Amino acid sequence: MRILITGGAGFVGSHLASETMSRGDDVLVLDDLSTGRYENIEALEREGRLRLVVDTVNDPSIVDECVKQVDAVYHLASAVGVRLIIEQPVRTIESIVGGTDVVLRSCARYRRPFLLTSTSEVYGKGARVPFAEDDDRVMGATTKRRWSYACAKALDEFLTLAHWYESRLPVRIARLFNTVGPGQTGQYGMVIPSFVRQALRGDPITVFGDGRQTRCFAHVGDVARGLADLMACPEAKGRIVNLGNDEEITILALAERIRDLAGTGAEIVLIPYEEAYGEGFDDMRRRVPDLRQAASLIGYRATKNLDDVLRDVIAWERARMAG
């Protein structure tokens, strides 16, 4: 099969490219290299079955040209990272809502299967965990710019489902929970790459807030496999499916775990949210996926636990720092 991955030079996109190529697909990547990096796909391009187009998903003629050439579309291109979202809200909203509209229009024109990567952010501050796909969403005020991301992604989901409802365009939506692994630079503040880098340098590990907020971290390899399985699953058409890992940990315990695995004895410090992000920020206390639908549709199960993930990231970061 020939597939298009928008955002394919990004962290998740490049792992998905590798996963789909190993299943025999030829891959076209459309990426503006804003947060994506050429290094992520350089080796795959050399194998000869991946082609990169450096351009934006907001350009209808470029997107149309790409979609026409392929049999299916994974739409990953998106602003990403809490810090980027807070600092560049216009780019965030325009790229997410505008880009998805453009890609969906071309998919509708050529009747191409479309998979949207959405996000666990759309659940917002819901207090009842685990989060299941049909749960209500709890959003903060529009003066807190963080929520622009969740709302823009929710609009993407509405638009995607609207194409399914009105014309039965074969769409799928994956809601990704925190995803980590080798290759994630965390330049826009993702917690695990930040903590690992701090620990390896022997710098203080900066825990924001009281550190009792929780997250669950999935290995990007598991998530990439889940995405490709969803695209291959006819029953997933028109559905929203959580992908992630349900092993929950507080951010403070995560900092301790990373400090111990890195073995550098770095100090752990608590930083108030206002100091870390300025105004415009709001955090959620707990975030845990309900993975039952992914399990029943595609037999999804996280094969790597948190320690596996952390060891992988520490090894990758060590090699990067040495090189």
From the candidates 74, 149, 277, 300, give the one annotated as an active-site residue.
149
**CB closer to ligand UDP, 60 vs 209:** 209
Q: Burial of 9 by CB count in 10 Å (0-12 exposed, 13-18 middle, 19+ buried)?
A: buried
Considering only residues 18 through 57, tell me which ones interact with ligand UDP, judged by CB under 6 A. Answer: none
Is 277 known to be catalytic?
no
Considering only residues 272 through 311, tell me which ones interact with ligand UDP, judged by CB under 6 A. Answer: 283
Given 145, 215, 219, 286, the residue binding ligand UDP (CB under 6 A): 215
Coil, strand, or helix at residue 283? coil
Contact between 207 and ligand UDP (CB under 6 A)?
yes
Contact between 208 and ligand UDP (CB under 6 A)?
yes
How many residues touch ligand UDP under the rule CB under 6 A: the total is 14
- Please, what is the Cα angle at 180 between 179 and 182, to 5 degrees? 145
CA 205 to chain centre: 23
Q: In the structure encoding, which two tokens stand for residue 230, read together?
A: 């969803």
Coil, strand, or helix at residue 131? strand
Q: Which amino acid is at 166?
A: E
Give the list of residues 6+ apart from residue 157 with CB closer than 8 angstroms, or none.
116, 118, 122, 173, 240
Beta bridge partners of 75: 6, 116
Question: Closest separation between CB of residue 279 and ligand UDP, Å?
Answer: 15
Contact between 204 and ligand UDP (CB under 6 A)?
no
Site string for ligand UDP, 251-270 (x = CB under 6 A): x-------------------
- Contacts with ligand UDP by CB under 6 A lie at 82, 178, 189-191, 194, 206-209, 213, 215, 251, 283
Q: Among all residues, which ones are annotated catalytic? A: 149
